[in-house]
Amino acid sequence: MSAVVIVGAQWGDEGKGKVVDIYMEVADMVVRYAGGPNAGHTLVVGDEKVIVRLLPSGILRDGTRCVLGQGMVIDPGVLIGEIDELGRRGYKGLEARLSISDRAHLILPYHILIDGLREESVRADKAIGTTKKGIGPAYEDKVRRTGVRAGELRDLDRLASRVESALEAWAPVAAALGGKLPSVKEVVEPLEEPARRIVRMLDNTSMLVERAIRDGARVMFEGAQGTLLDVDHGTYPFVTSSSAVSGGAAIGAGVGPNRIDTVIGITKAYTTRVGGGPFPTELDDADGRHLREAGAEFGSVTGRPRRTGWIDLPGLRYAARVNGLDGLALTKLDVLTGFERIKVCVAYETPNGRVEDLPIDLLDEPQVCRPVYEELQGWTEPLEAVRTLDELPKAARAYVRYLEEGAGVPVYLVSVGPRRRETIMLHNPFFGRAAAP
């Protein structure tokens, strides 16, 4: 039995797409358990770049069963659009191996409208910086018990009455924001075509995943966003609306936490963040710009330049704790090539003195909460061709070991470029110690 959760250990965009794709080579099933079409995994297959937002990255592997779990919010139009786009690129028969929880919630046009109006109405420094895909309002509907679930696509009349209640609940919000909600008809009619296709993919996915695990299948739970964006454990209120941490896999897929064997946290060799919110190790200088250019740090959904900074060890230790990390996948080590010195945040100075755990509720008070840095030696050699730890330049190897010790979590994989082969595989949770792919 092996069930592995892959989770972002920072603020998302850690390169989960590539890492999940590598492990998928040996997995039978991949399950997304939280979030919606804001994930934006970038996969590089051969020389082709493919961005998937809703579908699990594992969708590109023939024979892999892909599951959209009930913890997700799904935009029917985006889902069908993604399947058709991949179809045009030669990935056929996806619908036959995609299962969608009938309990997942739907993102409907009024969610997108409200999301956009809200982001535009607040002052820039207060904006969450959402992707405006309607995800937050769809989760609000879920918690307010006015949500519409995928299973309701089986009966559009019933769905229409659910939409009517939701529109009533949103009416005062839309009026206050100066927006006009669509009518029930305007919401339901465009759903007719996607509904016909989606209904065929609906399933009791909790049972499907549980059975797969029981039958000895290798199951991968693919997180979206990152630990510090989790609604409970992130830098609230600058967070996403779902449980991005590993515990979210049990809830969002509908299996018990004891079904999960291994949790892998993905971290970049530095840090990035998209949107608003605290980011203490952020660099607003030439080093920061260099990280952005060398790491191509522009949002895959929005194209927005990402904020960049040094790695944060207290943050990694925090991610290790709240996720129960067994191992780390360290990505984009190659991007640090060329820095003479590399800084690592090792602790924080706070009004309570120096702390080694992430002072998460103080992070937005830079006057009282300051990162403490250590400096490590950089290296100049390109890393893309490196396939073992021993082949790494000495300083790069020392950097990896330093992070491993500082986070208190062993490194399972080091990524040294965007391509699948540009990887140092140290431990594969599905197999144990592994040779490089």
CB of 59 to ligand GDP, least distance (A): 14
Tokens describing residue 247: 């515990």
Q: Rounded to an integer, what distance in angstroms lies between the CA atom of residue 377 and that of residue 363?
A: 27
Q: Rounded to an integer, what distance in angstroms lies between the CA atom of residue 192 and that of residue 156?
A: 8
CB of 54 to ligand GDP, least distance (A): 13
Rounded alpha-carbon distances, angstroms, from residue 127 to 42, 124, 276: 25, 5, 6
Please say which residue, 76 or 418, places its beta carbon nearer to ligand GDP.
Answer: 418
CB of 357 to ligand GDP, least distance (A): 25
The C-alpha angle 97, 98, 103, rounded to 5 degrees, equals 145
Q: Where along the sequence are the contacts to ligand GDP (CB under 6 A)?
A: 13-18, 40-42, 44, 296, 300, 331-332, 334-335, 415-418
Please say which residue, 231 or 416, places its beta carbon nearer to ligand GDP.
Answer: 416
Please say which residue, 269 or 409, places its beta carbon nearer to ligand GDP.
Answer: 269
Pairing of β 2-8 and β 262-268:
parallel
H helix or E strand, kind and range, residue 83: helix 76-88
Q: Rounded to an integer, what distance in angstroms lies between the CA atom of residue 234 and that of residue 225?
A: 11
Tokens describing residue 169: 């609940």
CB of 162 to ligand GDP, least distance (A): 32
Please say which residue, 151 or 417, places its beta carbon nearer to ligand GDP.
Answer: 417
Residue type present at position 26: V
CB of 163 to ligand GDP, least distance (A): 31
Active site residues: 13, 41
Closest of 159, 152, 113 to residue 136, by C-alpha? 113
Q: Rounded to an integer, what distance in angstroms lies between the CA atom of residue 353 and that of residue 371?
A: 12
Please say which residue, 266 or 320, places its beta carbon nearer to ligand GDP.
Answer: 266
Please say which residue, 53 or 149, places its beta carbon nearer to ligand GDP.
Answer: 53
The secondary structure of residue 304, as a DSSP letter, is P
Q: Spell out the residues 6+ positions from residue 148 whose beta carbon is closer than 8 angstroms to its own.
A: 105, 106, 108, 141, 159, 162, 163, 166
Closest of 229, 231, 205, 230 to residue 219, by C-alpha? 205
CB of 370 to ligand GDP, least distance (A): 28
